[in-house]
Every structure is written in structure tokens, then in C-alpha cells.
């Protein structure tokens, strides 16, 4: 096994204060875990994220080609992450209200502008020191696409705001190579904004995704999908256990959706691991669920957020869930 990291970010903030000790290696590690927390908090709770953060390990002295996959638990806030290529993984807690907390505002606008950047262009954007929280959120919520490019989406206003920082940074940059990267990224952002302004269409940030038609409520879909799991339960099963089982079902669903969005691979193996450790009783039907999702619900590309279970007056199960679309990344129900 690789390294397992358990990190409480509150312990790291002191490294960056005015009284900070000079500890470059500790700071580098803190910055790395901090960037994972920034990505996780700029994205939706309970929906796996193939982030644009590159693995920092160097197995056999070569940079690991992987990126960081992560999921932030909406209830506990705990961020679980792992590398898509090597076996580095860990959990991060205590990020709330630290300098790495980029939590989205409630009234956030839907993304209207989307674009693809090269990995090095995206990293040049990450390196702009002056970015404010809104622009940092746009940059850190970027995803790794399957071809290794980086997919970024934001509202027109947010993207304009970011474009201002990029232009200023390119102007001030003295290193020619970095200036070229910033210029190239700036041009792609400008082109994407012009596209969005003229088309006025729904944004589809992820290649290969078509706009959703009329779909049944996500809660009804999930209950149908979860049938093999519900069959394993009876009237005596505590609500909490049912909720845990359903959250695991949702994890499998989301992992397949993320892969079908044309983003990272490896999410499914991560889901299998989560199920084995979280609700081992379901592990034997993992492959059955995967098969069921692909065959019966293959065209349904909604990501699912938090799930709540209760019992109705007649003893039947009631399920509440929120759906996220890759097209608008907004809530549907």
C-alpha cells in the first residue's frame, strides 16, 4: 500500500501566518492538502470529483501521471481522496473556515461558460497569487477530462472576473514561458465567453453530454435502481442502516455517471472500495448494481447529492434526493 494521509487542516494554518516558522517542506505538504480541500469545497458535496490536481508523488523518480479523485461527505464534511494512478490516498478534516475553505455561496449562478485548457495552462492559472475567492473557486473546481485536458465552467460574470486577473498576471509576468501560458489560457477564456454570449445556450461543460429531456424525479429513479438492495432489507432494518445503504447505492450511481460524463476513470474501483469498507453487506451485489445502472439507466447522467430516508405513515420508505446535471450543475428537484 502507498501512504495513507489523515490530515486536519487546522493544524496547518499556522504555517502561513505572519509568525510562521520557515519550514518549506511542511509548507509544501500543507499547500498540497490545502489545494485538495479547495477543490473539494469548490465542488458539490457527495458527488465524486475527478479534480484537476496532479498527484505529487514521484514513484521511481518520475512524476506520477495521476490526478486526485475525491469526494466530500455532505454530512460529516470529511474529504476522502485518492490518486487515479498510484495508491496514494487519505482523508482531510477540519478545513471549515480555514484559508482553504472555498464553499460555494447558496445563491450561486449556474455555469454559462465552459472551456478546456491544457494541464499546464490550468496550472499557470492556479499559480496566480492575487486571485480572490470567487476566481479561485472557478479555477479549483476544474475537472480532469479523460484526454488529460482540464475542463472549467463558470457563470459569465465569474469568468469575466477571472479573465481580468489572467490578463493582469500575463502583463506583469516576466518569465516568457509562463506569460505565454497565461496568454493562451486568457485567449481560450475570451473565446469561450464570446461563444456563450452569442449562443445563449445551455452550457454542457463535459464533452459527449446531451441536454436532459423530461426525466422522472431522481428519487423515483433511485428507488427503482436500488431494488436489489431494498430486497435485502426488512421492516426491522433501522432507518440509519437503510440510509447508509442508499448512500452507497448513490456512490455507485455517481461513479458510473462521472465516468460517462467523459471524465476520469477509476471512480468505479473507488466506489467498490468504499462499499467494501462502508457497507460490506452490499459488496457481493456491487457488480450487479453496476450492470443494472449501465443496462437499465444508461442514458441517465444525473449526479445525485445527499439522500434522506424516512418512513411514511403506511410504513413504506420515503426517499428525498437532489440531482445535479452536468449541463447546468444546478439542482433539479
- Report if residue 57 touches Zn ion, rule: CB under 5 A: yes
Measured CA to CA in angstroms, residue 319 lies from 118, 242, 243 at distances of 41, 10, 9
Size of the site for Zn ion (CB under 5 A): 8
- Report if residue 264 touches Zn ion, rule: CB under 5 A: no
Nearer to Zn ion (CB atom), residue 126 or residue 167:
126
- Report if residue 83 touches Zn ion, rule: CB under 5 A: yes
- C-alpha span between 297 and 217 (Å, rounded): 13
Task: Tell which one of 9, 38, 39, 55 touches Zn ion (CB under 5 A).
Answer: 55
Alpha helices for the chain (secondary structure H):
24-42, 119-126, 133-140, 156-172, 176-199, 218-225, 227-230, 239-260, 267-278, 286-296
Nearer to Zn ion (CB atom), residue 86 or residue 241:
86
- Write the CB contacts of 222 (distance below 8 Å, at least 6 apart in sequence): 246, 249, 250, 253, 304, 307, 319, 321
- Report if residue 68 touches Zn ion, rule: CB under 5 A: no
- C-alpha span between 27 and 36 (Å, rounded): 14
Nearer to Zn ion (CB atom), residue 55 or residue 249:
55
DSSP state string for 51-118 = EEEEP---GGGS----EEEEEE-TTT-PEEEEESSSS-EEEEE--TTSTT-----TTPPPP-EEEEE-
- Stretches 51-59, 112-120, 207-215, 264-272: which one binds Zn ion (CB under 5 A)? 51-59
- Report if residue 56 touches Zn ion, rule: CB under 5 A: no
Tell me the closest approach of the beta carbon of residue 57 to Zn ion, in angstroms: 5
Nearer to Zn ion (CB atom), residue 34 or residue 90:
90
Instruction: Give the nearest residue (CB) to Zn ion.
Output: 55
- Report if residue 64 touches Zn ion, rule: CB under 5 A: yes
The cell numbers describing 288, all together, are 450487479
- Stretches 8-16, 84-92, 167-175, 227-235: which one binds Zn ion (CB under 5 A)? 84-92
- Stretches 82-90, 140-148, 204-212, 260-268: which one binds Zn ion (CB under 5 A)? 82-90
Measured CA to CA in angstroms, residue 148 lies from 18, 67, 69, 72 at distances of 38, 9, 14, 23
Tell me the closest approach of the beta carbon of residue 32 to Zn ion, in angstroms: 12
- Report if residue 50 touches Zn ion, rule: CB under 5 A: no
Mask of contacts with Zn ion, 124-143, x by CB under 5 A?
Answer: --------------------
Residues 146-165 that bind Zn ion (CB under 5 A): none
Tell me the closest approach of the beta carbon of residue 56 to Zn ion, in angstroms: 8
Spatial strand order of the sheet with 89-93 comes to 4-8, 89-93, 79-83, 67-72, 49-54, 143-144, 150-154, 113-117
Q: Contact residues for Zn ion (CB under 5 A)? A: 55, 57, 64, 66, 83, 85-86, 88
Amino acid at each position: 500500500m502507498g501512504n495513507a494521509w489523515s490530515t486536519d487542516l487546522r493544524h496547518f494554518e499556522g504555517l502561513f501566518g505572519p509568525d510562521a516558522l520557515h519550514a518549506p517542506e511542511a509548507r509544501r505538504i500543507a499547500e498540497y492538502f490545502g489545494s485538495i480541500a479547495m477543490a473539494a469545497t469548490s465542488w458539490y458535496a457527495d458527488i465524486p470529483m475527478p479534480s484537476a490536481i496532479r498527484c505529487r508523488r514521484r514513484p521511481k523518480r518520475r512524476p506520477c501521471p495521476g490526478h486526485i479523485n475525491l469526494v466530500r461527505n455532505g454530512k460529516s464534511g470529511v474529504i476522502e481522496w485518492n490518486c487515479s494512478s498510484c495508491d496514494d490516498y487519505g482523508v482531510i478534516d477540519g478545513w471549515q473556515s480555514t484559508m482553504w475553505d472555498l464553499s460555494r455561496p447558496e445563491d450561486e449562478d449556474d455555469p454559462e461558460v465552459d472551456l478546456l485548457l491544457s494541464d499546464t495552462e490550468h496550472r499557470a492559472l492556479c499559480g496566480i497569487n492575487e486571485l480572490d475567492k470567487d476566481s479561485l473557486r472557478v479555477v479549483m473546481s476544474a475537472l480532469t477530462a479523460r484526454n488529460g485536458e482540464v475542463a472549467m465552467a463558470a457563470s459569465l460574470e465569474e469568468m469575466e472576473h477571472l479573465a481580468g486577473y489572467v490578463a493582469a498576471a500575463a502583463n506583469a509576468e516576466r518569465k516568457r514561458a509562463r506569460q505565454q501560458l497565461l496568454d493562451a489560457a486568457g485567449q481560450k477564456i475570451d473565446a469561450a465567453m464570446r461563444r456563450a454570449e452569442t449562443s445563449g445556450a445551455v452550457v454542457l461543460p463535459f464533452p459527449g453530454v446531451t441536454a436532459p429531456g423530461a426525466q422522472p424525479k431522481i428519487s423515483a429513479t433511485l428507488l427503482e435502481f436500488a431494488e436489489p438492495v431494498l430486497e435485502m432489507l426488512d421492516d426491522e432494518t433501522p432507518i440509519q442502516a437503510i440510509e447508509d445503504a442508499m448512500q452507497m447505492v448513490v456512490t455507485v450511481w455517481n461513479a458510473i455517471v462521472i465516468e460517462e460524463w467523459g471524465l476520469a476513470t477509476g471512480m468505479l474501483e473507488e466506489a467498490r472500495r468504499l462499499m467494501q469498507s462502508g457497507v460490506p453487506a452490499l459488496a457481493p451485489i456491487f457488480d450487479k448494481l453496476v450492470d443494472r445502472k449501465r443496462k437499465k439507466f444508461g442514458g441517465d447522467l444525473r449526479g445525485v447529492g445527499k439522500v434522506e430516508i424516512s418512513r411514511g405513515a403506511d410504513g413504506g420508505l420515503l426517499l428525498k434526493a437532489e440531482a445535479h446535471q452536468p449541463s447546468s450543475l444546478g439542482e433539479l428537484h
